[in-house]
A and B are shown apart, each in its own frame.
Chain A
Amino acid sequence: NAGVTQTPKFQVLKTGQSMTLQCAQDMNHEYMSWYRQDPGMGLRLIHYSVGAGITDQGEVPNGYNVSRSTTEDFPLRLLSAAPSQTSVYFCASSRTSGEQFFGPGTRLTVL
């Protein structure tokens, strides 16, 4: 099993550009989440999903969209990137509300 995979590992965007961060898991987990990590701020929940077709907002959802068309994939879309979205983004999955398995992260810089 590959676990949780994220692509790309690194990305540089210009302000106003859009992009999609990919996340996939092969553990048949129902729960998937997106977090952003900024220095001194810990991990903040952006969006999460408890199953295919079901998504909900977390603590910091503004500027991000998600969809969950399959159990395996949970992409995060930035519609119009802003410098404030410079961060490290982690995707995680879990069977229920228990142990979360994190991907390796995507380091995003918005100029």
Chain B
Amino acid sequence: GQQVMQIPQYQHVQEGEDFTTYCNSSTTLSNIQWYKQRPGGHPVFLIQLVKSGEVKKQKRLTFQFGEAKKNSSLHITATQTTDVGTYFCAGNSGYALNFGKGTSLLVTP
């Protein structure tokens, strides 16, 4: 079955540093979604990428979908303490959504 791998598992940065998390799928995806979960909270949708090579930006966040539609990345420029949380990618190749294990981001002031 489809597997979605995400690295790194943890990342600790100083406020102002950049952060990137990577997502790789064993199969071609119809789309990929990114979610953020704050400590003690529930996952919240950030964005969906559908097209091969697509790049989308949300303020300091940049999302990319690979040309082969098997990998994706989330890059945060100049992290802030409000960016703390776990970031999940989720691959969709049918009805079901398969989540990566997430990258937990800790930002030190």
Contact = CB atoms under 8 A, between A and B. Distances in A.
Contacts of A40: 9, 101
A: interface residue count bin: 20 to 34
Interface in B79-102: 88, 90, 92, 94-102
A97 B42 contact: no
A58 B98 CA distance: 9
B22 to A, nearest CB: 15
A45 interface: yes
A100 B101 contact: no
A59 B97 CA distance: 10
B82 to A, nearest CB: 20
Contacts of B48: 98-99
Contacts of B31: 97-98
Contact of B42 (A33, A41, A59, A103): A103
Interface of A: 31, 33, 35, 40-45, 48, 50, 56, 58-59, 90, 92, 97-105
